[in-house]
Structure 1
Amino acid sequence: MTTTPENQWTQQEYGRPYPGQQYQQPATGQYGYGTMPDVPAHARYAQPMGPLGQVRGTGVQILLFFVTFGIWGFVYYFQTHEEMKRHTGEGIGGVLALVLSFFVGFASPYLLSHEVGGLYERRGRQKPVSAVTALWFFPGALILVGPFIWFIKTNRALNDYWRSVGAH
């Protein structure tokens, strides 16, 4: 039996014929048995199910950085990376982020912005920040305000994400 126009939609929609109907190989770009359909990036990931992270006030974080002579930066990297890892099950986690910030500190802003952008991507949303955002940090430090712009953008994106999934 061949596919007729009135029942062809079921084969194209579901990828299988009616009982007694012969199976037609789908055209290129369509999916059938043994092939995977084109799916959006967010559908490839399991939805994050872990605990939510903490919303951190940007001004308070900047103040703590200066009051502790930069030590708070290590704490911030550890906490944020650890929360993202627990939430999604992916990422470098707090310990590795801390080690990297000690030994290759210039990479930390790039990693943080990249992972924050990944949170949005996993939920099918447009990434407000990415590793490219960290160009505000370096070479943006040459204009003195660059690191502040990077931190404000990245921390705001992280806080907005946590709020969007229910954090207070």
Structure 2
Amino acid sequence: MKAHPFTLLAVACTSAACSSFVLTEPASPPLTTVSDAPPGYALACVLRGSIVGALLTIVVRDNGTVVGATEGPGHFCWFAGEGRHEVTVDGPSDADPIAFDARAGERIHLELSVRIGQDEIVRASAERAAELEAETRYSVIDEGPEDEALPAGIPSVRGKPASR
């Protein structure tokens, strides 16, 4: 017997504690996909255009630090220090981690595609990032689990020694 997609969604949401993070949309986004980063940092953005799994909150970490989350179509940005970064997703997503070496002044755009059972996070062009940014809302984490360190203001994450 096949499970109904909404049943799977409900089970995934319940088992992943989808409501443990509360997101809001700021009146004015603190960063855009073309913002400049401070010296020694790159600008990194995650953009999720998919409406599949729109009720699912997907939390994103850079080198283990929470940098943002999306709930349905949305995006957010943070500052990635020079060096190696591994971006992972929490919650009901099965997307594999993606790694990149950040260079000062660089802009790194990552597209999170949610396709239940086939999620992925991949590098996106500046053009694709601009399209997704125009179609989605900026997300900020307002609340989270008590044991979770949440970003204050614009998140920034130090890079690890770059890969060779």
Question: Shorter-chain-normalised TM-score: which range?
Answer: 0.3 to 0.5
TM-score, structure 2 normalization: 0.33
Structure with greater helix percent: 1
Larger of the two Rg values belongs to structure: 1
TM-score, structure 1 normalization: 0.33
Structure with greater strand percent: 2
Higher RCO, 1 or 2 (CA under 8 Å, sep at least 6)? 2
